[in-house]
Amino acid sequence: MLSTYHTHNVFCDGQKTPEDYVLAAIEKGFSAIGFSSHAPFLFDTGWTMKRENLSRYIESIKELKEKYSNQIQVYTGLETDYYPNCRDFRNHPGIEYTIGSVHFMYYNEENNKSLTVDGPMDEFRELLDSVFDRNVRRLVETYYDLVAEMVKTCPPDILGHLDIVKKNNSNSLFFSESHSWYRNKVEEVLDVISKSNVIVEVNTGGISRGYTAETYPSEWIMKLMRDMDIPVILNSDAHHPDWIDSYYAEAVEILKRSGYTRQKVLINGNWQDVPL
């Protein structure tokens, strides 16, 4: 069964309209597609949905759901960020699911300065140097602490790109995933996730956008997740309709090597297990 519930279109930082995504999904034989534009923020970001557009976004997806009901199932979601005083969209009218993510690790209200963990390299270096005093271990552990806090206090349906902290770490530029402190921290947050009902996505978006050479999360993390019986969902995090199934075949093989035989999907209005 082909599906993706992590997509971005013109309502946030993606390309093309929601209908372009639906048409691409139908052409590729998808059973379901979900929209997850970045939810409005309490401060300006330049890449999240504007607050005044939220109602129009929900209505646009609803119209597509009805228009293409005989060809594909369409769902309305949001990718919601976890940060101090963030808004909870989980029960917002018209929203059928949420993807919870941690992007922002610094915000200064006085000068509207914000820094994300997954921004371009210069932004990551600024975050590391100016906020964490060049202590990459403290940055990474703080990131995972925020993920764990989100799962405990505001659990989403899906956890987005679990180890996105590695985005700017090609060739272990800042840290090695084999370091015991890193692996211990990952296991710590997985233990928190395993006690929740949160689904962890296997996200191919870093590959399709040229940021990483592998999925989020790394294969060794998937194996730990399988040992802990943590459910997974395959998502493309597509920012263009052409990418809605990018690297899916490769990701499925990694999942199978990790011991997974099934994934969770939202189908017929319910979360269900289907074979990979």
Q: What is the pLDDT of residues 240-266, one digit of tens each?
A: 999 999 999 999 999 999 999 999 999
Categorize the per-residue pLDDT at 42 as very low, low, confident or very high, splitting at 50, 70 and 90. Answer: confident
pLDDT at 108 > cutoff 90: no
- pLDDT at 46 (0 to 100): 86
- pLDDT at 15 (0 to 100): 97
The per-residue pLDDT for range 49-94, each reduced to its tens digit, is: 999 999 999 999 999 999 999 999 999 999 999 998 899 999 999 9
Categorize the per-residue pLDDT at 198 as very low, low, confident or very high, splitting at 50, 70 and 90. Answer: very high
Average model confidence (pLDDT) across the chain:
97
pLDDT at 187 > cutoff 80: yes
The per-residue pLDDT for range 7-35, each reduced to its tens digit, is: 999 999 999 999 999 999 999 999 999 99
- pLDDT at 267 (0 to 100): 98
| Stated length of the chain | 276
Please, what are the domains in the chain?
3-100+142-275 (3.20.20.140)
Q: How far is it between the farthest Cα atoms of the chain?
A: 55
Contact assessment for residue 53 and residue 28, using Cβ atoms and an 8 Å cutoff: no
- Buried/exposed 214-253: b ≥16 CB within 10 Å, e otherwise: bbbbbeebbebbbeeebbbbbbbbbbbbebbbbbbeebee
Of 274, 159, 163, nearest to 212 (Cα)?
163
pLDDT at 112 > cutoff 80: no
How far is the C-alpha of 119 from the C-alpha of 113, rounded, in Å? 13
What is the β-pairing status of strands 262-267 and 270-275?
Answer: antiparallel
- pLDDT at 240 (0 to 100): 98
Calculated CA dihedral for residues 238, 239, 241, 245, nearest 10 degrees: -20
Q: Please report which helix (H) or strand (E) contains residue 143, including its range.
A: helix 136-153
- pLDDT at 43 (0 to 100): 82
Contact assessment for residue 104 and residue 116, using Cβ atoms and an 8 Å cutoff: yes
Bigger pLDDT: 41 vs 101: 101
pLDDT at 110 > cutoff 90: no
How far is the C-alpha of 218 from the C-alpha of 216, rounded, in Å? 6
pLDDT at 216 > cutoff 90: yes
- pLDDT at 123 (0 to 100): 96
**Under 8 Å CB-to-CB from 11, ≥6 apart: which residues?**
18, 37, 49, 53, 56, 57, 60
- pLDDT at 111 (0 to 100): 79
pLDDT at 139 > cutoff 90: yes
